[in-house]
Copies of this chain bind each other. A is one copy, B any other.
């Protein structure tokens, strides 16, 4: 499992947490949002998803991936 920490802007409440974690779960990515630091810790199988797909999924929920 590949692990990454992604910085994301615009996550403000528990709805945002659920939206992002839920969307990532649907593509097989385990995710944990930390609102305080504005980060998403992800863990995924590189055989099935890559980091750009992970970032794209976050952006599709309406957030800006910073790094």
Q: Which residues of A contact B (CB under 8 A)?
A: 10, 12-16, 19, 62
Contact = CB atoms under 8 A, between A and B. Distances in A.
A15 B35 CA distance: 15
Contacts of A13: 10, 12-13, 15-16
9 contacts: A10-B13, A12-B12, A12-B13, A13-B15, A13-B16, A14-B62, A15-B15, A15-B16, A15-B19
A10 B15 CA distance: 12
A15 B18 CA distance: 10
Cβ-closest 9 pairs across A and B:
A15-B15, A12-B12, A12-B13, A13-B13, A13-B16, A15-B16, A15-B19, A13-B15, A14-B62
